[in-house]
């Protein structure tokens, strides 16, 4: 609920929730950048398991009050209170294979926490994240499903959590973050 003390629009509450999130589980952008730092291609640690679509389904559905919708052609979309935070895109003319020119049908979209987070994720040296003109100015990044294999499960978890936090009700997000902060102590 907004009050006169926070300008009436909830800005201080959103800032507090974002700050708590960054202190608690860290930003996916910063985490991905730290994991990917250094020369050469980043490969998941040998003890880490590479991420899969099954992992995405499990991780997304584990977030509180998340629902999964499936399109007629079987593409999943994950929603928090009716708002999409991750989905498997259908073929679009703005995402094409650079070698064949064919429209890509294996692209996932993840919401991010604004333009700075988007730029940080897109700067990942592995080159697995991208955007298209359709998403210019929109807080989301794209990744091809085969490129999930370049992420480990914990990186995928961070993507899912951060995406979910952008769409979850703020009170629920704050409670979830507090609970997971206490669990990590």
For residue 54, give both structure tokens: 């099954």
Percentage, residues of the chain above pLDDT 70: 72
Q: Residue 3 falls within a domain, yes or no?
A: no
Report pTM: 0.74
More confident residue, 98 or 43: 98
pLDDT score for 182: 65
More confident residue, 183 or 137: 137
> Residue 62: which domain range?
10-184
pLDDT-derived band at 171, boundaries 50, 70, 90: very high
Q: Residue 180 falls within a domain, yes or no?
A: yes
Q: Residue 2 falls within a domain, yes or no?
A: no
Report whether pLDDT(46) > 90: no
R_g of the chain computed on alpha carbons: 17
pLDDT score for 35: 45
Q: Tell me the pLDDT tens digit for each residue of 91-149.
A: 888 888 878 888 888 999 999 999 999 999 999 999 999 999 999 999 999 999 999 99
CATH number of residue 46's parent domain: 3.90.1150.30
Number of domains in the chain: 1
pLDDT score for 146: 94
Could you give the CA distance from residue 177 to residue 185 in angstroms, rounded to a whole number?
Answer: 12
Q: What is the largest CA-CA distance in the chain?
A: 56
Q: Tell me the pLDDT tens digit for each residue of 53-72.
A: 999 999 999 999 999 999 99
pLDDT score for 54: 94
More confident residue, 34 or 101: 101
Q: Residue 33 falls within a domain, yes or no?
A: yes
Q: What is the mean pLDDT of the chain?
A: 79
Could you give the CA distance from residue 89 to residue 179 in angstroms, rounded to a whole number?
Answer: 32
Kindly tell me the burial class for residue 139, based on how many C-beta atoms sit within 10 Å of its own C-beta (0-12, 13-18, 19 or more).
middle
């Amino acid at each position: 609920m907004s009050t006169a003390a926070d300008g009436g629009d909830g800005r201080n509450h959103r800032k507090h929730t974002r700050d708590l999130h960054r202190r608690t589980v860290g930003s996916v952008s910063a985490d991905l950048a730290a994991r990917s730092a250094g020369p050469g291609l980043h490969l998941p640690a040998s003890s880490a398991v590479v991420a899969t679509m099954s992992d995405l389904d499990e991780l997304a559905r584990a977030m509180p009050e998340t629902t999964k919708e499936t399109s007629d052609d079987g593409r999943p979309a994950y929603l928090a209170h009716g708002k999409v935070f991750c989905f498997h895109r259908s073929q679009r003319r703005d995402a094409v294979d650079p070698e064949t020119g064919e429209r890509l049908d294996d692209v996932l979209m993840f919401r991010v926490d604004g333009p700075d987070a988007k730029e940080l994720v897109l700067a990942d040296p592995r080159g697995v994240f991208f955007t298209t003109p359709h998403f210019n100015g929109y807080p989301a990044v794209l990744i091809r499903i085969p490129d999930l294999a370049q992420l480990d499960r914990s990186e995928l978890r961070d993507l899912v959590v951060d995406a979910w936090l952008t769409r979850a009700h703020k009170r629920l997000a704050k409670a979830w973050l507090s609970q997971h902060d206490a669990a990590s102590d």
